Amino acid sequence: MEAWKDYVASVKTLPRSVWDSLVRHGAPVTDRSRMETVLQNLFLHIHPTRVHRWSLRWSYSLGLGLICAASFLLLLVTGVLLMFYYKPSTVLAYQSIQDIHYVIPSGRFMRNIHRWGAHIMVVAVILHMARVFYTSSYKKPREMNWVFGLVLLVLTLGLSFSGYLLPWDQLAYWATTIGANIAQSPRELTDALGITPYFDPGGFQKTLLLGSRSVGEEALIRFYVLHIMVLPLLMVVFMGLHFWRIRKDGGLSRPEDADERLGPPGDDALPVFTQAQKKSYGLMAVVRGTSPTVGRGPENTVPAWPHLMTAEAAVFMFTLAITVALSFFFDAPLKEMANPLIPENPAKAPWYFLGLQEIVSFSAFAGGVLLPMLALIGLGLIPYLDREPGGVGYWLGGRDRDKRVFLQSAAFGLAAVIGLEAFAVRFGWLRDWFPGIPQIVITLFNPGTLLTFLYVAYSVWIIRRENSTRLGGIAIFTCLLAGFIILTLIGTYFRGPNWGFYWSPSHWPVH
Amino acid sequence: MKKLLLASSLVALGFLVASGLSENVFVSWKGYQKEYARLLAERAEDPARKREALATAVELRQFVVPDLHVIDRCVTCHLGLDDPRMAGAPNPYAAHPGNILKIHPPEKFGCTICHRGQGAAVSFREAKAVDVYWDYPLLPPNLVESSCGICHDPMALAERGAPALARGARLFEEKGCHGCHRLGGLGGSLGAELDSVGLKTKHQLVMANLPGERTTYRWLDRHFKDPQGIVPGSLMKPDYPTEEEARALTIYMLSLQAGRELPDRAVARDRHRLLSLEHDQGERDGRTLYDRLCRVCHGEGTFGTYDKFLGRFVPAIRNPAFLRMADREFLRASIMRGRPGTQMAGFDGGMTDADLAKLLEYLAGSERIPERRPDSYEKLPVGDAKRGGSIFARQCAGCHDPGEKGQVAPTLSSRSFQEKASDAMILRTIAEGRPGTAMVAFVGPEGTGFTGGELADLLAYLRTLSSRRR
């Protein structure tokens, strides 16, 4: 009978015991169980158990990294849903998007979220990079994480661009055609050297990308596989690396004197160590660098559960709210079905490439290969070339000198790009003055390369004037940002048919 | 932070619910289906039918016709399509007028094959597709006839079903449109080829000067009434058609869809016959060919006339004086290769050899034109091209600009002219002129005008023009 009683008792407590076996610590009400909540959960354990209050400050991180991750998650979910209906073939792709748009329950909304999520992710990634830069967060020991961040930027753009072709509409077809021709642009160089027949990296790149000479079935499958498999996998791997490194590098960057500046914790912070210390800090001895908890009490840290979790949930929901609001009011575009016989004019790449397309209009090689490569390499080298200590954890180091240089660089960057563009729009460029000029001259000498030269020269001058590599970095980064923004705006809003300059699309000649 | 979490969650939830409702519950077609069930119940004769009508499932409906690449969801709203009880009901519930659906069951042909529009869409704005991205917006009812011509010979439908289409086809022949436009292998090359003009999208037409909705059918209609108003500088002669004529021609243009792949089952027998005749149904005797191909510019062809649209004199090609100088080789070259520097574009590929022979016979009329006229005119001294050049500059260049393009008269440096115009013909033309054109005789009856020497100089100069071009 004992067995029977035990059995009844087991049945009665079944839900409880299943739950207890799933969550082996108690409810997160004590300091210890809060830590365990994070530590013992596979999905949460990438978080620290305690997080510094500085990291939770609004004004510091702006939640941008989380917005990137949140929008990636949104894209993953909606992307999988779209995959159920999307058919990657030139005959069926457009039709399947029409079906998703018109008759699949909530298909239109899912596609809108996927589209808007992609835009938001690109914007957030760029802003996140700016945040990390302006708070000096790339400095030792975070140099390599900055580089991983750049890889994530490239992957984000790659994902966005590879998804562009899939609807197989006119927008997709011609944007991809432009992209493929840019991939072929090293020919500009090899043609000038006369070695294209023997050594043709441009042609190889284009063929590699399209699987054919023009955008067609092969290209669609390639872009599809890249978009749903290769790039997302790489993305997840590098996101893992990126997050892992944040943990290992001691959380988000913060200033040396963060504790003093924060003062004592407010009332909303849960009390520290209400129970006896359980965890051994001996482990911390192997953590590299000046980890905050080495030789210092955890006074200014708070349990990750609930503080960090609430913050993450808030940012995630905020991202979701913005995305669904946009998706509710604005449909993702679907133009006419791709038609190789009717070129779009102007055929524009996705907006974040329009700054480059603006330079491509002078030289495909300069705008599509040379300058982006230079920019990426330059960005990647920043943490290795600027090794000045200090200033970490504040926007612009919290110093007036940095702010002044930032404003000067912004002014110079804007003036240079606007001036050069205005000149090129008003007076034309070399090809307009000397029609017979060899293209190689324009490849080397166009508003894009000239601008890059000016920016580099300016930042070198700043390094020497201010005797600071950090300020030189601020100069070049700010100039690049200014150039990117202005060129993107021009490419997006002021370029019309045949890449002519128009103040507004309403002035475009209708053909 | 918690406030942000709460607010964002509420906003996200709100929009998720709102979109779920607006995309799945409050969609227009569901409303139409319910209203249709009500209308049907109203018209039911007995309670059983009424119950049946009200119990009709609210669901998406579509016609799928794989061999025509059609998935049309129009019936999702147009439920009364084939129900005679719905005759006279308001749209979208009304029955399809006429007996068309009996002959062309929608399960076999769909809707958009005739009406155009975006069949995949299930809202009227997107199905009509005038201001959404779709190549072929819904045709207005009075132009739907055009689609008969996709599978039928227009003429076969003159008496049954598509009178305006047949009228358009007839007008096209009568007005000499073939003179510039090639269709079905017949016609000139000055204007656009029209075999697939009905498949053009609005992006392939110059829409800048078309006020209002930018659709191909409105473009065609306006363009027939005012070619230069729609395409500035167009050489197309305004024919001032009536409203009905313009509609008939528009319908005919929309029907021209040779590039469209159709399953054999869809193509009517009369159209197979038409295709075997290469679109040509009229008789192709010389006179008909002249009317279709030449008359629009050359008129009767006995007098040269100044054409204000072409901005030049159009030569009299049936003028006896001309025919006495020209030979068949020259005429053939002029017709097939055209006369560069004029609007006379070649008909090569636009007519068969048999057509050309018939046309030459008709042009000759009672004249007997030899294959090649002998090269001798009179015995002339060998001319000096330099002196000839100065004569040309004074006397000829005003009309025959020796540059790339002729001004008022044909360019004399073109290859076809240089190869096919014999010395004799050139000399005789200079000496005797071309009656009915601006080309006057330069040698008078009593030895006035050019001397033999001057003629020889001119000829020598003219013969240098071809080499200069190259």
Q: What is the fold, at CATH topology level, of the domain defined by B148-276?
A: Cytochrome Bc1 Complex; Chain D, domain 2 (1.10.760)
Among the partner-chain residues A105, A310, A325, the one whose CB lies closest to the CB of B15 is: A325
Q: Which residue has the higher pLDDT, A2 or B310?
A: A2
Radius of gyration, CA atoms only, chain B:
32
Q: Which of A369, A355, A314, A317 is nearest to A482 (CA)?
A: A355
Distance in angstroms between the alpha carbons of the first and the last residue of chain B: 81
Domain boundary at A344, A370, A393, which? Answer: A344
Distance from CA of A342 to the nearest CA of B (A): 7
Distance from CA of A318 to the nearest CA of B (A): 5
Burial of A248 (0-12, 13-18, 19+ CB in 10 A): middle
Please state, in angstroms and as integers, the Cα–Cα distance from residue B417 to each residue in A115, A468, B340, B341, B464, following that order.
62, 78, 8, 11, 13
Q: Which of B394, B235, B421 is nearest to B329 (CA)?
A: B421
Helices and strands per DSSP (H, E), number in chain B:
22, 4
**pLDDT tens digit string along A381-413?**
999 998 888 788 888 888 899 999 999 999 999
d(Cα B330, Cα B107) in Å, to the nearest integer?
58
d(Cα B453, Cα B461) in Å, to the nearest integer?
12
Q: Compute CA A414 distance to the chain's CA centroid, rounded to the nearest angstrom.
A: 23
pLDDT of residue A462: 95
| Exposure of B145 in the CB half-sphere (CA atoms within 13 A) | 24
Chain A residues touching residue B19 (CB < 8 angstroms): 106, 109, 324, 327-328
Who's near B122: CB < 8 A, 6+ residues apart?
A102, A103, B27, B28, B29, B60, B73, B76, B77
Would you say residue A507 has pLDDT above 60?
A: yes
Q: Which residue has the higher pLDDT, A278 or A162?
A: A162
The answer to whether residue A287 sits within a structural domain is no
Cβ–Cβ of A336/B134 closer than 8 Å?
yes
ipTM above 0.95, yes or no: no
pLDDT of residue A59: 85
Cβ–Cβ of B133/A336 closer than 8 Å?
yes
**pLDDT tens digit string along A428-439?**
888 889 888 888
Chain A residues touching residue B63 (CB < 8 angstroms): none
Q: Which of A50, A62, A72, A36 is nearest to A242 (CA)?
A: A72
- Which stretches of chain A sit within 8 Å of chain B by CB? 56, 95, 98-99, 102-103, 105-106, 108-109, 169-170, 307, 310-311, 313-314, 317-318, 320-321, 324-325, 327-328, 333-337, 339, 342, 509-511
Q: State the pLDDT confidence band at B280, using cuts at 50, 70 and 90.
A: low
pLDDT of residue A257: 79
Would you say residue A292 has pLDDT above 80?
A: no
SS3 state at A301? strand
The answer to whether residue A38 sits within a structural domain is no
- The whole domain housing A471 covers 354-511
The answer to whether residue A31 sits within a structural domain is no
Measured between CB atoms, does B440 come within 8 Å of chain A? no
Would you say residue B178 has pLDDT above 60?
A: yes
SS3 state at A362? coil
Q: Which class in CATH covers the domain with range B385-469? A: mainly alpha
Please state, in angstroms and as integers, the Cα–Cα distance from residue A44 to each residue in A2, A41, A204, A319, following that order.
41, 5, 44, 20
Cβ–Cβ of B121/A98 closer than 8 Å?
yes
Distance from CA of A96 to the nearest CA of B (A): 10
pLDDT of residue A38: 86
Cβ–Cβ of B135/A336 closer than 8 Å?
yes
pLDDT of residue A379: 95
d(Cα A216, Cα A221) in Å, to the nearest integer?
9
Residue A101 and residue A234 in one domain: yes
The answer to whether residue A295 sits within a structural domain is no
pLDDT of residue B311: 73
The answer to whether residue A4 sits within a structural domain is no
Measured between CB atoms, does B206 come within 8 Å of chain A? yes
**pLDDT tens digit string along B94-113?**
999 888 899 999 999 999 99
CB pairs under 8 A between A and B: 88
Among the partner-chain residues B8, B60, B118, the one whose CB lies closest to the CB of A317 is: B8
Cβ–Cβ of A106/B20 closer than 8 Å?
yes
Lowest mean pLDDT among A427-431, B245-249, B333-337, B379-383: B379-383
pLDDT of residue A510: 63
pLDDT of residue A511: 54
Among the partner-chain residues A95, A109, A510, the one whose CB lies closest to the CB of B208 is: A510
Cα angle, residue A172 at apex, residues A237 and B116 outer, rounded to 5°: 140
Cβ–Cβ of B12/A321 closer than 8 Å?
yes
pLDDT of residue A3: 93
Would you say residue B221 has pLDDT above 90?
A: yes
Among the partner-chain residues B23, B204, B206, the one whose CB lies closest to the CB of A342 is: B204
Among the partner-chain residues A109, A169, A320, the one whose CB lies closest to the CB of B8 is: A320
**pLDDT tens digit string along A6-36?**
999 999 999 999 998 888 887 888 878 888 8
- Long-range CB contacts for residues B278-283, cutoff 8 Å, separation at least 24: B278/B184, B278/B185, B278/B186, B279/B183, B279/B184, B279/B185, B279/B186, B280/B184, B280/B186, B281/B153, B281/B155, B282/B173
**pLDDT tens digit string along B293-314?**
888 888 888 777 777 777 777 8
Residue A93 and residue A215 in one domain: yes
Average per-residue pLDDT in chain B? 85
Domain boundary at A317, A344, A371, which? Answer: A344
Distance from CA of B66 to the nearest CA of A (A): 12
**pLDDT tens digit string along A338-356?**
998 888 888 888 899 999 9
Cβ–Cβ of A324/B201 closer than 8 Å?
no
**pLDDT tens digit string along A187-201?**
988 888 888 899 989
Which strand (E) or helix (H) includes residue A33? helix A31-39
Cβ–Cβ of A321/B16 closer than 8 Å?
no
Distance from CA of B385 to the nearest CA of A (A): 35
d(Cα B410, Cα A169) in Å, to the nearest integer?
47
The DSSP letter of residue A307 is I
Residue A420 and residue A376 in one domain: yes
Residue A59 and residue A208 in one domain: yes
Who's near A321: CB < 8 A, 6+ residues apart?
B7, B8, B9, B11, B12, B15
Domain of A96, CATH number, reads 1.20.810.10
Q: How many domains does chain A have?
A: 2
Residue A326 and residue A439 in one domain: no
**pLDDT tens digit string along B22-81?**
988 899 999 999 999 998 888 888 888 888 888 888 999 999 999 998 999 999 999 988
Average pLDDT over residues A79-106: 94
**pLDDT tens digit string along A31-43?**
788 888 888 888 8
Which strand (E) or helix (H) includes residue A398? none
The answer to whether residue A34 sits within a structural domain is no
Cβ–Cβ of B207/A327 closer than 8 Å?
no
Residue A326 and residue A458 in one domain: no
Residue A469 and residue A363 in one domain: yes
Average pLDDT over residues A472-498: 93
Please state, in angstroms and as integers, the Cα–Cα distance from residue A90 to each residue in A81, A166, A461, A504, B159, following that order.
20, 9, 53, 34, 42
Average per-residue pLDDT in chain A? 88
Cβ–Cβ of A99/B19 closer than 8 Å?
no
Q: Compute CA A494 distance to the chain's CA centroid, rounded to the nearest angstrom.
A: 25
Residue A220 and residue A314 in one domain: yes
Distance from CA of A163 to the nearest CA of B (A): 20
Lowest mean pLDDT among A78-87, B168-177, B438-447: B438-447
Residue A167 and residue A225 in one domain: yes
Angle between helices A107-134 and A93-102 (to 10 degrees): 100
d(Cα B207, Cα B212) in Å, to the nearest integer?
10
Would you say residue B391 has pLDDT above 50?
A: yes
Average pLDDT over residues B262-283: 73
Residue A336 and residue A420 in one domain: no
Cβ–Cβ of A327/B134 closer than 8 Å?
no
Q: Chain A: residue nearest B200 by CA?
A: A342
Which strand (E) or helix (H) includes residue A303? strand A301-303
pLDDT of residue B279: 52
Measured between CB atoms, does B121 come within 8 Å of chain A? yes
**Percent over 90 (pLDDT), chain B:** 30
Please say whether the beta carbons of B135 and A336 come within 8 A: yes
Residue A319 and residue A459 in one domain: no
For every residue of A408-465, DSSP letters joined together read HHHHHHHHHHHHHHHHHHHH--HHHH-TT--HHHHHHSSHHHHHHHHHHHHHHHHHHH
Cβ–Cβ of A342/B201 closer than 8 Å?
yes
For chain B, domain boundaries = 28-138, 148-276, 286-364, 385-469
Would you say residue B441 has pLDDT above 70?
A: yes
Cβ–Cβ of A318/B4 closer than 8 Å?
yes
pLDDT of residue B378: 60
Please state, in angstroms and as integers, the Cα–Cα distance from residue A420 to each residue in A356, A416, A451, following that order.
15, 6, 8
Strands A50-52 and A301-303: antiparallel
**pLDDT tens digit string along B317-355?**
888 878 877 888 888 888 888 877 678 888 888 888 888
Binning chain A into helix, strand and coil, the percentages to the nearest 5 are: 65, 0, 30
Cβ–Cβ of A108/B23 closer than 8 Å?
yes
CB atoms near residue A229 (< 10 Å): 10
Radius of gyration, CA atoms only, chain A:
27
Please say whether the beta carbons of A476 and A379 come within 8 A: no
pLDDT of residue A275: 46
Q: What is the fold, at CATH topology level, of the domain defined by B286-364?
A: Cytochrome Bc1 Complex; Chain D, domain 2 (1.10.760)
To test the contact with chain A by mutation, choose from B3, B5, B61 the residue with the greatest count of A C-beta atoms within 10 A, namely: B5
pLDDT of residue B470: 43
Chain B residues touching residue A105 (CB < 8 angstroms): 23-24
Cα angle, residue B387 at apex, residues B385 and B388 outer, rounded to 5°: 60
HEC letters along A491-507 = HHHCECHHHCECCCHHH
Residue A252 and residue A368 in one domain: no
